[in-house]
Structure 1
């Protein structure tokens, strides 16, 4: 029995000797120096400066895109300016190579994108003078647009210029449709009436309530250097039998002294039997008019609806 146990023990030793021994790497501790501590430094915090706060870059504002108008038969530059609610001078400035008296059908005109300034302290809204606006009226046209007219009378003793206003149409659903009004001339002398017009392009409302608001009427500053003292002589008006048109002719006369007129306009307004405006027209001189000289004019004016009872003529001359 003892011999058997000795043999088993010897066999176990032999087996252990044949098994490879795994060597473990020694673990080394970092060497610490006594009396030395490494201070902890927190990361720096970025504080925005109050003197220069972050300001987001504003987006660029959109620039209104100009339009192109193709001249149709029977159109003139003044009527085209009315369609877009622009002064004639603005349309002429946008088309410096176009002769307003020699436009052909199919000609392309650049229509500037008008924009009303926002009133500020530096650009206040002018207070209109106490001129009187008559009853506004709108007429449908063959192209389904509306032509709106109103006559503003100068009851003051001061010449007035730069008239402007807004036609307001209240439609059945309660919404308001505003159309800027353009004067036939720049100058409104005391005792005269000047038509303001607007064209509302289709689609137009069939039923509406019409109103008008005068937004600007400024006194001509003294001394008056912007307008010349021209007048009309020999005015002859011939109304057609059906009352839908009238021929107008006469002469513009300049005073014997003073500057020559580089621009001469004759503004015509046709009125019905009740005194309401039914048509407008503006004649423009083809050339300057020297002082002491006279220039004949002849044109036609047409009614937008009711028969023409009479035609009134105004003149404006500028150096």
Structure 2
């Protein structure tokens, strides 16, 4: 009897322990996988084949590519915004956007500009320059053996043209190009009906029997909404050619048109011609002093001929805000 009582007591204790474990276990839904992929059993001759799973594939991490780093450029003497843009193969608009505090004001030596990255080359065709008339190409040798080549361009359109540039080629008797130099207009703008001289220096030595030829690189119309260049005109201009005809003194005054707003710089270009109408020299006079419509700006400078005697000089003036 005593053994039966002890056995009954053990059975009661075992049932009580089993119920307590069930109540503290996690629920089946939090432990059981829902993957129903078939299981492959391998034998020594079987080949493992991939099979689809129902587990989601984790997304790939996004890779952030580094962007091009802008360049800092320090302005040197005779730098212009247009020239700097050309040097770094960017547009003037992009250069101004990267330097909003500059606008179109005159640059100062030592000023630091941010040069934005050049646009990547794409399959989009390059804009074709306006077919500006190349009137003539003249070359004049110097005593040191170098060669100055001048190109005369004329704007035969009704609108003002900007961003003028050419490449000047020296060719041998067979037409093969033996040397080339790019050249840029000394003014940003070329008004309708006017001509401008562009020049490039070919260092010595230069071959004998060459022929010069120019090809237009860039030219575009100035938008009618562009207000960077206030209207300006010349008055009381005087050209005095010396007795030998190898230089000319140019003087006069420049004045902004009324209601045109102030200008931060003024450029005056003198282009010299011989009696046959060939371009023989040019020079740009600069003023970086602020000018208002009520002011009068006086100028006085010399132009030298690269060859024949000077017959006459034509002047162009340009102001910028």
1:161-188 CA-to-partner distances (Å, cap 9, x unmatched) read: 0011111111357343211011121100
**Are residues 208 and 193 of structure 1, via their aligned partners in 2, closer, same or farther at CA, if it must alter by over 3 Å?**
same
Contact 1:244 1:303 in 2 (8 A): yes
Pairing partner for 1:270 from 269, 272, 276: 272
1:151-162 equivalent positions in 2, closer than 5 A: 151-162=152-163
* Counterpart check, 1:134 vs 2:138: no
- Using the size of structure 2 for normalisation, the TM-score is 0.64
Contact 1:130 1:156 in 2 (8 A): no
Q: Mark the runs of 5 or more structure 1 residues left unpaired by the alignment.
A: 1-37, 43-65, 70-76, 99-115
**Are residues 203 and 120 of structure 1, via their aligned partners in 2, closer, same or farther at CA, if it must alter by over 3 Å?**
farther
1:148-297 equivalent positions in 2, closer than 5 A: 148-172=149-173, 174-297=176-299
Contact 1:167 1:211 in 2 (8 A): yes
* Counterpart check, 1:97 vs 2:99: no
Contact 2:146 2:206 in 1 (8 A): yes
Instruction: State the alpha-carbon separation in 2 of the partners of residues 283 and 223 from structure 1.
Output: 27
Contact 1:150 1:197 in 2 (8 A): yes
Contact 2:231 2:260 in 1 (8 A): no
**Are residues 95 and 318 of structure 1, via their aligned partners in 2, closer, same or farther at CA, if it must alter by over 3 Å?**
closer
Contact 1:165 1:181 in 2 (8 A): yes
**Are residues 215 and 175 of structure 1, via their aligned partners in 2, closer, same or farther at CA, if it must alter by over 3 Å?**
closer
- Partner of 2:136: helix, strand, or coil? coil
- Partner of 2:263: helix, strand, or coil? coil
**Are residues 94 and 147 of structure 1, via their aligned partners in 2, closer, same or farther at CA, if it must alter by over 3 Å?**
farther
Q: CA RMSD in A?
A: 4.0
Contact 2:169 2:177 in 1 (8 A): no
TM-superposed CA distance for 1:40, in Å, is 8.9
Contact 2:264 2:288 in 1 (8 A): no
Instruction: State the alpha-carbon separation in 2 of the partners of residues 40 and 213 from structure 1.
Output: 75
Instruction: State the alpha-carbon separation in 1 of the partners of residues 189 and 207 from structure 2.
Output: 33
Partner of 1:21: none
TM-superposed CA distance for 1:201, in Å, is 1.7
Contact 1:171 1:177 in 2 (8 A): no
Task: Identify the range of structure 1 (139-148 vs 271-280) with the bigger mean alpha-carbon deviation.
Answer: 139-148
Contact 1:269 1:279 in 2 (8 A): yes
Q: Mark the runs of 5 or more structure 2 residues left unpaired by the alignment.
A: 1-42, 48-72, 88-105, 112-117
Computing the radius of gyration from Cα coordinates, the structure with the larger value is 1
- Partner of 1:135: helix, strand, or coil? strand
Number of equivalent positions: 241
Instruction: State the alpha-carbon separation in 2 of the partners of residues 214 and 260 from structure 1.
Output: 33
TM-superposed CA distance for 1:127, in Å, is 1.8
Contact 1:170 1:210 in 2 (8 A): yes
1:272-306 CA-to-partner distances (Å, cap 9, x unmatched) read: 11111101100001411112321000000000011
